[in-house]
Structure 1
Amino acid sequence: MNLTIAVIAKECSPGMVKTRLTPPLTPEQAAALAQTSLSQTLETVRSLPAARRLLVFDGTPLQGDAAGFEVFAQSTGGLDERLAAICSLASGPLLILGMDTPQLCRDQLAPLLADWAAPAAVALRRAWLGPASDGGFWALGLYRPDGGLLRGVEMSTPQTGAHQLDRLTRGGLDVGLLPVLTDVDHFADALAAAQRCSGTPFACAVERLATGLQAAGAPVEALSAAAPTRRTAP
């Protein structure tokens, strides 16, 4: 299908990624878990039907991560500007994904893939949004990429997903909603995400970390119960 899938991501250096995983993790453990999440996401994207796969990266990706992807440096500016710039890299249907939902699988994207596999005159939706449980979004699909639909949307707030959805609908687009997924920001999020992708490298890494924390006397169950309150985007 004539689909471009772009993953926006950054180099997983200790102290620079997933800082809210620390504590209970060390900066090195948090960075390693972020790298596992990124690599697993990219492997999932390789399995999806797409004409092009882009890795829009801040830093230098690992050779294995770059395999099968066209690599582009992220643009400057806020996240809204960097996401908007990705729209200029695609001339047809575009799906933008992040690196923070390792539980991503093809089934969660099935409605979009089925819709956009149809001829242009038959496809029902001109946009798709994947809400995140913290109020953001993990996926944005635009049948006709337009950076103006992203610029000016305030990112990284509990209302980001709702504001982005409003921007799309006010732009006259019929928007489909994908399942709500959990961004891995806190260790409780990692535990929740791991439960949804059991047996994967990410789930195994979380299991090893949880076992180590328990052995060190950390109450992992309490960490899970104390996860920050989430607001779900509509």
Structure 2
Amino acid sequence: MAKVPRAGTTKTRLCPPLTPEQAADLYGALLEDTLDFVAGLPGIQPAIAVTPPEDAAYFRNRALDGMRLYPVEAGDVGEALDRSLTTALAEGHPKALAIHSDGPTFSPKVIAEAIEALEARDVVIGPCDDGGYYLIGLKRACEPLFRGIEWSTSRVTGQTLERAAGLGLGTYLLPGAMDVDTAEDLARLTAKLRDGSLDGLRRTRALLDGNLHDPSPLRS
């Protein structure tokens, strides 16, 4: 799930301490690291779901070999997720996973765990510690699952689990991971990259390394 990094519209909760331009640069690095991560996963068909659809041209130049492009017209996050997952399943894939583009703050083993879990469960969710989720997976399209969710709040995962239960769907929770939405998140990400507890994120690491001597991870 991706959008074009634009100053003033991406990662705005990081401003301050970052400028809008720095926040967009950070999201761009996280996005590129996410594309690299997905491209390296075995046994899957990678795709980029783009909202709004008119931004698809930006991603045509960035899609790595074999990546599909799903331009998605959607009114909110739930519609974007539903339409992207439904498109993948309609192409004949037995399972479909959607992940965020905040960089792979989880290991490839989590993807394998999600795929395996869908053998027995209907929905798999990777929760973030802010109450959202970094991954959701289905083996059958289920538009009602995404209705009535207060997107971009701490209630997303809880409400989705309640919704799934109400629909009679079996769920599986993956290990938690982090988003990078606030100054506190950015400080945690920087610390994890420094102490080696988080691998990968080559572009994000390089971007942050250039300014780690500053009080803020990126120069303001």
**Which residue among 108, 125, 129 is the counterpart of 2:125?**
129
Partner-residue secondary structure (3-state), 1:203:
helix
| Counterpart contact for 1:101–1:138, Cα < 8 Å | no
Aligned to 2:109: 107
The answer for unaligned runs of 5 or more in structure 1 is 1-7, 117-122, 219-234
User: 1:44 is paired with a residue of what secondary structure?
Assistant: helix
Gapped regions of structure 2 (runs ≥ 5): none
Q: CA deviation at 1:212?
A: 3.2
Which secondary structure does the structure 2 equivalent of 1:191 belong to?
helix
SS at match of 2:115: helix
Displacement of 1:109 after TM fit? 2.7
Match of 2:137 among 137, 141, 145: 141
What's the CA shift for 1:101? 4.0
**Kept in 2: contact 1:80–1:154 (CA 8 A):** no
Deviations 1:42-63 (Å, cap 9, x if unpaired)? 1111122344222111322262
Report whether the alignment pairs 1:174 with 2:170: yes
SS of aligned partner of 2:135: strand
Q: Which residue is 2:213 aligned to? A: 211
Contact 1:83/1:147, CA 8 A, preserved across alignment: no
Q: RMSD in angstroms over aligned alpha carbons? A: 2.4
1:215 Cα deviation from its structure 2 partner: 9.8
Task: Single out whichever of 79-88 and 191-200 deviates more from structure 2.
Answer: 191-200
Q: TM-score, length-normalised on structure 2?
A: 0.82
Pairing partner for 2:61 from 57, 60, 63: 63
Query: TM (normalized to structure 1)?
Result: 0.78
SS in 2 for 1:11: coil
Between 201-210 and 157-166, the greater mean CA deviation after superposition: 201-210
- For residues 217 and 93 of structure 1, the distance between their equivalents in structure 2, rounded to whole angstroms, comes to 42
Contact 2:70–2:84 at 8 Å: present in 1 too? Answer: no
